[in-house]
Amino acid sequence: MANTLRAIPLSTVERLSIYLRTLRESLVEGMDFISSTEIGKRNDFTAAQVRKDLSCFGNFGIKGTGYQISELINTLETILGLDREWKVAIFGLGKLGGALACYKGLKSARFNVVAIFDVDPKKVDKTYKNIPVYHSDMLKKVVREKKIQIAIIAVPTDSAKATIQRIIDAGIKGILNFTEARVPYPDEYILKNVNLAGELESISYYLIHSDL
Amino acid sequence: MANTLRAIPLSTVERLSIYLRTLRESLVEGMDFISSTEIGKRNDFTAAQVRKDLSCFGNFGIKGTGYQISELINTLETILGLDREWKVAIFGLGKLGGALACYKGLKSARFNVVAIFDVDPKKVDKTYKNIPVYHSDMLKKVVREKKIQIAIIAVPTDSAKATIQRIIDAGIKGILNFTEARVPYPDEYILKNVNLAGELESISYYLIHSDL
DNA sequence: TTTTAATTGTGAATTCTATCACAATCTATT
DNA sequence: AATAGATTGTGATAGAATTCACAATTAAAA
């Protein structure tokens, strides 16, 4: 039975993203329906896991047949909030910030980069790939005017903590942080960290500790 | 009691990375000892979590005092395999690949980018930031000669699946994948996916489903 | 030396997450 | 209309991860 209000674990939400990708892929392949078994097989999940995740939000399947793909895509997009446009700002126009600003996966997924912030006088008050670049001092004003809802942090390590704090203070509730900085934040905020060094370090760990 | 052989969950290993960062930070601040409580506070973990994680590998603390910071840094570096140099190749010299090649966090953490692969004739057989750029056809030969152990995938989506398959076939056992492609891989391999769109989608989800 | 305060390491308890297993139901076939 | 085959949704079960809670130990203070 559907219960959107019950707290859904992050792991379930992250898998919904993966299911959505699989559904789009199978739609391109010309399929109309897909079973939980097939969704699982393509992502190395059990079929029960797939069904349980989906059942948190409703009964979308047809017994004996599976899930109608285009319909489930729409449903998952609505659940994930991809039925609207999100206004995103990138903080830090270095190599990584620039790469993220160009990333096609963003725009196609309704994440629209409407502002870039930096402190370098050579970069500010220009545009980068048609996106206006502002001095970080303009943060509060621009966030208010452009109704920015999500921040992506790609500033240098040493200014990261202060930058994140200012973003929190400006009321941007969704933050994706590519730096090492860790900042406490209020409950109603969602802050996710992508830690490149950490990813490689756990790869390093498992390379050593496998039975070689 | 220490038991390095027992399978350690990924979540524990990932936290070790975080503890290590915290320890380095506190060393810079001039501290000599740190308690599990303080490590936890700086990362929003419980003190028990910190102690339990560390106790998987040994008894490193001093009761009443905490952990000797520089010593625990060395211990964690050894556990994570950061006491050696890892040879890394980046696949795809686009915006993201270029950004990763320049990323200072890599080299300082003993992850040494010794090769870049691409298929663009304008890029191959040159160097990028002093790193040689090879045509992907040279994959097997270069991997063997340079003893590459870790691959970072930053190629375009449509060639990603094939690229990853060739990397697996070439015997590179540690893979960090920045693309959407998902490829089945043998057990003794470790493949981690960083999914930017997925991260933003779960942020989107929680922004909608908080009590606003 | 004794006491007090701090902190670890860990077994037990709890909470959270994933899997199992099967009744219910749908489609297709005979 | 009846049967066979497929697949869902979910309560029950199992498994994993986290937190609790406290004895043991150390350092510092009295």
- Of A80, A99, A118, which residue constitutes the final position of a domain? A80
CA distance B62 to chain A (A): 25
The DSSP code for B56 is: T
**∠ CA B114-A208-B32 to the nearest 5 degrees?**
90
Chain B, window 47-86: residues with a beta carbon less than 8 angstroms from a chain A beta carbon: 79-82, 86
**Is residue B206 a contact partner of residue A81, using CB atoms and an 8 Å limit?**
no
Q: Which domain holds residue A59?
A: 10-80
Q: Does A208 fall in a domain?
A: no
CATH number of the domain residue A182 falls in:
3.40.50.720
Mutate to test the interface with A, among B20, B204, B212 (most CBs of A within 10 A): B204
CB contact under 8 A, A209 and B44: no
> Within 13 A of B27's CA, how many CA atoms are on the CB side?
14
Mutate to test the interface with B, among A188, A200, A207 (most CBs of B within 10 A): A200
Check pLDDT > 80 for residue B127. yes
Residue A67 CA, nucleotide D6 C1', distance (Å): 13
Task: Over range B140-146, report the average pLDDT.
Answer: 97
Q: Phi first, then psi: give them for residue A57, nearest 5 degrees.
A: -115, -10
Mutate to test the interface with B, among A204, A206, A209, A210 (most CBs of B within 10 A): A204
pLDDT the model gives residue A104 = 85
Same domain, B59 and B95: no
Is B137 touching A (CB cutoff 8 A)? Answer: no
Check pLDDT > 60 for residue A95. yes
Check pLDDT > 50 for residue B3. no
Q: Does A3 fall in a domain?
A: no
Query: What is the residue type of B135?
Result: H
Task: Over range A76-82, report the average pLDDT.
Answer: 97
B116/A6 Cα distance (integer angstroms) = 46
Of A107-116, A153-162, B154-163, the one with minimum mean pLDDT is A107-116
Proportion of chain A above pLDDT 90, given as a percent:
89
- Asked if residue B35 keeps its beta carbon closer than 7 A to nucleic acid strand C, the reply is yes
pLDDT the model gives residue B156 = 95
Check pLDDT > 90 for residue A2. no
Average pLDDT of chain A is 94
Task: Over range A182-190, report the average pLDDT.
Answer: 90
Print the SS3 string covering B122-138. CCCCCEECCEEEEEHHH
Q: Phi first, then psi: give them for residue A85, nearest 5 degrees.
A: -95, 130
CB contact under 8 A, A194 and B194: yes
A30/A181 Cα distance (integer angstroms) = 45
Check pLDDT > 60 for residue B4. no
CATH number of the domain residue B19 falls in:
1.10.10.10
pLDDT the model gives residue A126 = 97
- The band of B6, judged by pLDDT with boundaries at 50, 70 and 90, is low
- Asked if residue A3 keeps its beta carbon closer than 7 A to nucleic acid strand D, the reply is no
pLDDT the model gives residue B2 = 41
CB contact under 8 A, A180 and B16: no
Q: A37: Cβ–Cβ under 8 A, 6 or more apart, which residues?
A: A47
Instruction: Extract the tokens encoding A51.
Output: 């069904």
Cross-strand partners of A60:
none
Q: Does A44 fall in a domain?
A: yes
B102/B105 Cα distance (integer angstroms) = 9
Check pLDDT > 70 for residue A194. yes
pLDDT the model gives residue B165 = 97
Same domain, A26 and A102: no
Closest C-alpha to B164, from B139, B135, B133, B187:
B139
Q: Which nucleotide is nearest to B47 (CA to C1')?
A: D19
- Asked if residue B70 keeps its beta carbon closer than 7 A to nucleic acid strand C, the reply is no
- The band of B7, judged by pLDDT with boundaries at 50, 70 and 90, is confident
pLDDT the model gives residue B106 = 84
Task: Determine the straight-line distance between the first and last CA of chain A, rounded to whole angstroms.
Answer: 47
Chain B, window 174-193: residues with a beta carbon less than 8 angstroms from a chain A beta carbon: 174-176, 180, 182, 184, 188, 190, 192
A40/A44 Cα distance (integer angstroms) = 6
- Of B40, B64, B80, which residue constitutes the final position of a domain? B80
Interface contacts A/B by beta carbons within 8 Å = 192
Instruction: Extract the tokens encoding B150.
Output: 């870790």
Q: B204: Cβ–Cβ under 8 A, 6 or more apart, which residues?
A: A80, A81, A82, A86, A111, A150, A174
- The band of B62, judged by pLDDT with boundaries at 50, 70 and 90, is very high
Closest C-alpha to A168, from A151, A180, A156, A154:
A151
The enclosing H or E element of B14 equals helix B10-28
Q: Does B136 fall in a domain?
A: yes
Residue B75 CA, nucleotide D22 C1', distance (Å): 28
- Which residues in B lie closer than 8 A to residue A198 (C-beta atoms)? 14, 17-18, 21
Check pLDDT > 50 for residue B36. yes
Q: Does B118 fall in a domain?
A: yes
Question: How far lies A66's CA from each of A4, A12, A57, A96, in Å?
Answer: 22, 20, 16, 41
CB contact under 8 A, B99 and A98: yes
Of A45-59, A98-112, A137-151, the one with minimum mean pLDDT is A98-112
Residue A47 CA, nucleotide D3 C1', distance (Å): 27
Scanning chain A, the segments in alpha helix (DSSP H) are: 10-28, 36-43, 47-55, 69-80, 95-102, 104-108, 139-146, 157-169, 196-208
Check pLDDT > 60 for residue B5. no
Task: Over range B83-110, report the average pLDDT.
Answer: 92
Question: How far lies B57's CA from each of A199, B80, B110, in Å?
Answer: 20, 11, 22
Is A171 touching B (CB cutoff 8 A)? Answer: no
Check pLDDT > 70 for residue B65. yes
Same domain, B108 and B70: no
Check pLDDT > 50 for residue A1. no
Question: How far lies A200's CA from each of A4, A22, A43, A204, in Å?
Answer: 36, 26, 22, 6
Q: What is the pLDDT of residues B144-163, one digit of tens each?
A: 999 999 999 999 999 999 99
Check pLDDT > 50 for residue B1. no
Same domain, B168 and B117: yes
Check pLDDT > 70 for residue B18. yes
pLDDT the model gives residue B15 = 98
Proportion of chain B above pLDDT 70, given as a percent:
96
- The band of A3, judged by pLDDT with boundaries at 50, 70 and 90, is very low
Name the domain count of chain A. Answer: 2
- Of A49, A80, A111, which residue constitutes the final position of a domain? A80
Long-range contacts of B188-196 (CB under 8 A, 24+ apart): B188/A210, B188/A211, B188/A212, B190/A202, B190/A203, B190/A206, B190/A207, B190/A210, B191/B164, B192/A199, B192/A202, B192/A203, B194/A194, B194/A196, B194/A199, B195/A17, B195/A18, B196/A100, B196/A103, B196/A105, B196/A106, B196/A176, B196/A194
Same domain, A41 and A131: no
pLDDT the model gives residue A211 = 62
Closest C-alpha to B146, from B103, B102, B113:
B113
